[in-house]
Structure 1
Amino acid sequence: MKEMVYQASPEAVQTLHQIRESVHKCCQSCMNRIVRVQTMDGEVYEGMLMGMDHKHLYLSIAQGVDQRQFFPGGVFYPPASSVILPLVLYELLVISLLY
């Protein structure tokens, strides 16, 4: 038998589930739109919300310098040098629509 080092309390587990579900519902209306995301660690990312699952938000971000390309009507096309960044839903602090 191995010694347990940590076990989340049932209340913490329930809270994390509620946060994850809340963020997931909020992001559904932001799909394929430009957002700014801030994590609990203070990291800030801008890009197009490309997808979600029950654990992650997938953000298309430009590598290096801000290389966003906008066309008439505010349509965003990720640059060829973009990457998909998976972000953990319960670690997100702020999600803002940019365009």
Structure 2
Amino acid sequence: MDAYYNCLNCMNRKVRILTIDRKVYEGKIVKVDRERVYLETSEGGPVRTSAFGPYRRYGFGYRNQILTLSLFTLLAIALI
């Protein structure tokens, strides 16, 4: 439940999310429900993911792409 309330507190703000499989996502939280967080990625920019340390970029996002992440996989969330 802590992840749910943390995401609610960060609604409509840019965040960096770290998941339990060590992937990092950046974007703006646009919606949160009891099971998922919906993250809007940067317009036309890459979706940033990382195994460890410096970011490795895997592909490019599309304008207004929405990523859906399970709240159960969130390890950390930070405002950027």
Equivalent residue number for residue 3 of structure 2: 23
SS in 2 for 1:25: helix
Q: TM-score, normalised by structure 2?
A: 0.73
Deviations 1:34-68 (A, max 9, x none): 000011111101000001111000000137634xx
Structure 2 match to 1:94: 76
- Matched pairs, number: 65
Query: How many Å separate the matches in 2 of 1:22 and 1:95?
Result: 11
SS in 1 for 2:45: coil
Q: Percent identity at matched positions?
A: 38
Q: Aligned partners of 1:81, 1:28: CA distance in 2, in Å?
A: 23
Alignment partner, residue 24 of structure 2: 44
- Structure label with greater radius of gyration: 1
Structure with a larger share of its residues in helix: 1
Q: 1:82 aligns with which of 64, 70, 78?
A: 64
Spell out structure 1 runs of 4+ moving beyond 6 A.
none
Identify unmatched segments of 5+ residues in structure 1. Answer: 1-20, 67-79
Kindly indicate whether residue 45 of structure 2 is the aligned counterpart of residue 65 of structure 1.
yes
Letter paired with 1:95: I
Which 5+ residue runs of structure 2 have no aligned equivalent?
47-61
Letter in 1 for 2:3: V
What is the RMSD of the two structures over their aligned residues, measured on CA atoms?
Answer: 1.7
